[in-house]
A and B are shown apart, each in its own frame.
Chain A
Amino acid sequence: MSKIVKMVAQRLALGLLTLFTVSLIIFLGVQLLPGDLAQAILGQSATPETVAAFRRELGLDLPAYVRYFDWLGGMLQGDFGHSLANKREISELIGQRLLNTLFLAGVAAAIAVPLALILGIMAALYRNTLFDRAINVATLTSISFPEFFVAYILIMLLAIKMRWLPGISNISGEIDLAERLYRVVLPALTLTLVVVAHMMRMTRAAIINLLASPYIEMAMLKGVPRWRIITHHALPNALSPIINVVVINLAYLVVGVVVVEVVFVYPGLGQLLVDSVSKRDMPVVQASALIFAATYILLNLTADLLSILSNPRLLHPR
């Protein structure tokens, strides 16, 4: 067990290094984009005079490395800083949006993960039957369409024609959990359609892969029922690849939903990042990017950890 603790510690330390590198790359990347915050905010109404005044006020006239180290210094003391554009605290700006993003990702995952696993197991169980093919065609079709297209189709059918669900996900204001869930059903459904295929196919493939192993043949010869072979003998050994693909999809649900946010007017982190990049609001870009990077790092670590824990050979290596 101490090995695992050591591994986690090592990975976390490496994670911090990764975050630092990410922040540097993001800073340089935004630096390379044409224009700066003053020009982006003032847009067509910019004059050389006002742009210069704006830059002076925000310290954008300082050299790039000075601004980076200023930001890094604040960051190390736990101060995310202020949005350059509207002087709001970043923690205040991001806090609620991060919760919104996690809420949507959570709801989508709660639908998608069990659905994908069940469908994957069933597809393996009834391999090469009509059911298997139908499931494959359906999920592959839904993943092949761009997200916004799936979203518009769902809005048209469920919101405009049937009137079952709201057309946009306005979750601001004082609403209870049930109402909140009702309002995120459509985006969560869209995301489900987008991620289910990947997890379902991986589950199916991992299980089918094992079904050719001698120990499964042995179980069959013993007369173990087919569903029991799959759930008791094959699935535990297929967990590692399944966990990995599930976790990748979870990370995607957190960081990659900007299109869905736009279509459903859902106030999550994605839209915040896009707005901040287009206005070159560096502290907000940095904070969002670090949250996304940390999400990937932590989820990857979790995946590896779970893979090791689910596999005795990795848990007790000789």
Chain B
Amino acid sequence: MTDKTDIRKPGAGFTRREALATGAAAGALAAGLSLAPGMARAASPKKGGRLRIGIGQGATTDSLDPATITDTYMQVVNYGLRNCLTEIDGNGKLIGELAESFEVSKDAATWTFHLRKDVTFHNGKTLDADDVIASLAHHRTEESKSAAKSLLKAVKEIKADGKNTVVIVLESGNADFPYIVSDYHMPILPAKDGKADALSGIGTGGYILDKFEPGVRTFMKRNPNYWKKNVAWFDEIEALAIIDPPARVAALSTGEVDVIDRVDRKIVDQLKRQQGVNVEEVTGNQHYTFPMRCDQDPFKDNNIRMALKHALDREEMVRTVLSGHGSVGNDHPIGPSQTFYNKDLPQRVYDADKAKFYLKQAGLSSLKVDLSVADAAFDGAVDAGVLYKEKAAKAGIDINVIREPNDGYWSNVWLVKGWCASYWGGRPTEDWMFTTTYAAGASWNESFWNNERFNQLLLAGRTELNQDKRREIYYEMQQICRDDSGAVIPMFANYIIASSNKVQHGKVAANWDLDGLKVCERWWFA
């Protein structure tokens, strides 16, 4: 798709284009990290065929309502059926989707989205501003149970300006707001009696819903009137929920499906040797964390936090828990593919002496702490906890690894216990990631961290339209996060996709699994 997004410059000094160019460069860097040797080369795409995808998530309780989407299965289906105002392209660059262009006021608080004309929904309804307003309101009302509710908290008003323009007024500036509306929670749904129609599956996307059997399969057919040209190549999509990892591999090996996600890391190398199968690996922003509650003893003392941050061997954790399919983390959540990734920040390494030093600073000679883990947090969390314990013992730290039940982990352990395991799929922008998990008072501030300087910088960065200044701000924030926050971030995990060699694709996006969740739209059969 060509990028016709016209982003007009609102004030002096700010060039959004530059920002986007930087984003593209970072995206290219991410692609450089792609480890797969047999990457399918982009031959010219052609139409046809039925793509069968085996996705490692999905449940009988899934709903078409985008407000409650939580896993890859519904995310992929959602992006097949629907479009958002903006999207992040294969290079990690923000472009307009249903918004042809967008512009911002000087204070970054008023965003104006110009909608594409002549876009129709699957039921023939023409897209206009009312649909956008209803779709966003779906997440903002009092009774909304949307996971995007907190993302849109700062929105003061959403109004139409004619049929094809939507103006969104924020309470305070947010230079990254167009990224937020690319989120999978916020596709544009058709308005019905002033409310968004969230359950019918009707959207403006490249595929029309044919059958939806939650937790089993979803069948979609190509939208003949799709407004995007040169995408959505397949005639039909069949998305199967295949939870069991060996079953997924067996399905691919026997030709029952064409693409699978979440390949078991232990067998990636074997699978790569199998004929007719391509394996793609991308290092995205998906990272694993061990958040300590900074509002509870002993983690109130930053010396303790620093001691624990030095007491784990990240290299070894990547080698064993991830079987080498990932990269080490540096105790901040910004991935190497992100625009303002601080590459000058020294990598933290395992150092038992330093850990001992920090313990001494805290007035202790030894330390005993509980660490709650379960594989619900991330695949291999229990092993990671045990490995942590082993290495920390050499620094005089006794970690008592408690294995918690997977069931109910997110309500009973996470944000409750003093120290536990967690994961983040990553967010497209620095501001979004920090605001979600590190800002004081955020609902998902998993380490209950409150750093004054960090919070000031966060606000400054959000309203700042000058890219150099923003870089400075985010570089410093990563450093503060690394040296003060309550989250130990040992590693970034790769997204691993395997596909039959009949399937072709361009460069695989790093922002989410399955080519930025847009596998239905971007891939094709050779």
A residues near B (Cβ < 8 Å) are 33-35, 38-51, 53-54, 56-57, 83, 85-88, 93, 96, 152, 155, 159-160, 163, 166-168, 170, 172-173, 262-265, 267, 271-272, 275-276, 278-279, 281, 284
User: Which one, A88, A168, A271, contacts B256 given CB within 8 A?
Assistant: A168
Does the CB pair B145–A86 fall under 8 Å? no
13 new A-B pairs (CB below 8 Å) besides A86-B63, A172-B213? A34-B407, A39-B411, A47-B149, A49-B149, A50-B146, A57-B145, A85-B60, A155-B246, A160-B253, A167-B247, A168-B54, A265-B251, A281-B60
Q: Which of B81-89, B186-194, B237-245, B456-464 contacts A (4 or more CB under 8 A)?
A: B237-245
Residues of the B chain whose Cβ atoms lie less than 8 Å from the Cβ of A276: 60-61
Nearest residue (CB) in A for B71 is A43
Q: Which of B45-95 contact A (CB under 8 A)?
A: 54, 59-65, 68, 70
In the assembled complex, B12 has its CB within 8 A of some CB on chain A: no
Give me the 5 closest cross-chain CB pairs, A-B, nearest first.
Answer: A85-B61, A167-B254, A86-B63, A167-B250, A45-B147
A43 CA to B238 CA, complexed, in Å: 26
Residues in chain B near residue A262, CB distance under 8 A? 243-244, 247
Q: Which residues of A contact B150 (CB under 8 A)?
A: 47, 49
- By beta carbon, the residue of chain A nearest B148 is A45
Q: Tell me, in angstroms, the Cα distance from A264 to B64 when the chains sit together.
A: 25
Chain A residues within an 8 Å CB radius of B250 = 155, 159-160, 167-168
Q: Would you call B345 an interface residue if the criterion is a C-beta within 8 Å of the partner chain's C-beta atoms?
A: no
> In the complex, which residues of chain A have a beta carbon less than 8 angstroms from the beta carbon of B18?
none
A163 x B60 contact (CB < 8 A): no
Partner pick for B443 among A40, A48, A167, A172, CB 8 A cutoff: A48
- As a 0/1 sequence over residues 209 to 248 of chain B, the CB contacts with chain A under 8 angstroms (1 = contact) are 0010111110100000000000000000010111110110
Query: Within 8 Å CB of A42, what residues of B?
Result: 68, 70, 145, 147
B408 at the A interface (CB under 8 A)? yes
* A265 partner, pick from B63, B242, B412, beta carbons under 8 A: B242
Alpha-carbon gap, A170 to B256, bound state (A): 8
Is B269 in the interface zone, CB < 8 Å from A? no
Q: Establish whether residues A46 and B410, one from each chain, have CB atoms under 8 Å apart when the complex forms.
A: yes
B410→A43 contact, CB < 8 A:
yes
Please state if A53 and B216 are interface contacts (CB–CB under 8 Å).
Answer: no
CB within 8 Å: A-B pair count: 148
The chain A residue with its CB closest to the CB of B257 is A168
Contact between chains at A166 and B407 (CB < 8 Å)? no
12 A-B pairs within 8 Å (CB atoms) are namely A38-B145, A41-B68, A42-B70, A49-B149, A85-B62, A160-B250, A263-B247, A265-B240, A265-B241, A276-B61, A278-B59, A279-B61
Q: Select which of B145, B246, B257 is within 8 A of A50 by beta carbon.
A: B145
Say how far B219's CB is from chain A's closest CB, in angstroms. 7
Q: Is B344 an interface residue (CB 8 A)?
A: no
Residue among B68, B142, B251 making CB contact with A168, cutoff 8 Å: B251
Smallest CB separation, B175 vs chain A (Å) = 24
Determine which residue in B60, B64, B408 has the highest number of CB atoms from chain A within 10 A of its CB, and name it.
B60
CB 8 Å contact bits of B2-29 with A (1 = contact, 0 = none):
0000000000000000000000000000
> Inside 8 A of B144's CB, which chain A residues have their CB?
50, 53
Once A42-B70, A172-B216, A172-B217 are accepted as A-B contacts, the answer to whether A160 and B254 lie under 8 Å apart by CB is: yes
Determine if A40 and B408 form an interchain contact, defined as CB atoms under 8 angstroms apart: yes
Contact residues in A for B62 (Cβ distance below 8 Å): 85-86
| A246 CB to nearest B CB, Å | 30
CB of B199 within 8 Å of the partner chain = yes
A276 to B214, CA, bound (A): 12
Cβ contacts under 8 Å, B179 to chain A = none
Q: Give the CA-CA distance A160 to B276 in the complex, in Å.
A: 13
Complex formed: what's the CA distance from A301 to B215 in Å?
34
Chain B interface (Cβ within 8 Å of chain A)? 54, 59-65, 68, 70, 142-147, 149-150, 199, 211, 213-217, 219, 238, 240-244, 246-247, 250-251, 253-254, 256-257, 407-408, 410-412, 414, 422, 443-444
Closest beta carbon of chain A to B285's beta carbon, Å: 15
Assess the B411–A40 pair: CB atoms within 8 A: yes
A34, A167, A264, A284: the one within 8 Å of B253 (CB) = A167
Q: Report whether B147 and A264 are in contact in the complex, using a CB–CB cutoff of 8 Å.
A: no
Cα distance, A262 to B64, chains bound together (Å): 23
Shortest CB-to-CB span from A138 to chain B, Å, is: 25
Return A155 CB to nearest CB of chain B, in Å.
5
Q: Are B142 and A53 in contact (CB under 8 A)?
A: yes
Quote the shortest CB–CB distance from A277 to chain B (angstroms).
9
Q: Determine how close the nearest CB of chain B comes to the CB of A167; give it in whole angstroms.
A: 3
Which residues of B sit under 8 angstroms from A34, Cβ to Cβ? 407-408, 411-412
Complex Cα spacing A284 to B59, Å = 13
Q: How far is the CB of B445 from chain A (nearest CB, A)?
A: 11
Chain B residues with CB below 8 A from A87, complex form:
63, 199
A267 touches B145 (CB 8 A): no
Shortest CB distance B392–A (Å): 26
Report whether A168 and B412 are in contact in the complex, using a CB–CB cutoff of 8 Å.
no
Interface centre among A39, A45, A87 (most CB of B within 10 A): A45
Residue of B nearest to A48 (CB): B443
Q: Are A85 and B410 in contact (CB under 8 A)?
A: no
Chain A residues within 8 Å of B59, by CB: 275, 278-279
CA A40 – CA B444 in complex, angstroms?
16
CA distance A160 to B422 in the complex (A): 36
Kindly report which residue of chain A lies nearest to residue B425, judged by CB atoms: A44
Residues of chain A with a CB closer than 8 A to B142's CB: 53
Collect the chain A residues with CB atoms within 8 Å of residue B238's CB.
173
Known: A43-B70, A86-B214, A264-B247. A53 touches B253 (CB 8 A): no
Given A33-B408, A160-B253, A88 contacting B214 (CB threshold 8 A): yes
The smallest C-beta distance from A286 to any residue of chain B, in angstroms, reads: 14
CA distance A200 to B407 in the complex (A): 38
Residues on B with beta carbons closer than 8 Å to the beta carbon of A38: 145
Q: How far apart are the CA atoms of A44 and B61 in the complex, in Å?
A: 16
Query: CA separation between A66 and B407, bound complex, in Å?
Result: 26
A95 to B519 alpha-carbon distance, docked (Å): 32
With a cutoff of 8 Å between Cβ atoms, the chain B residues found around residue A281 in the complex are 60-61
Name the one of B65, B145, B247 contacting A53, with C-beta atoms under 8 angstroms. B145
Shortest B155–chain A CB gap in Å is 15
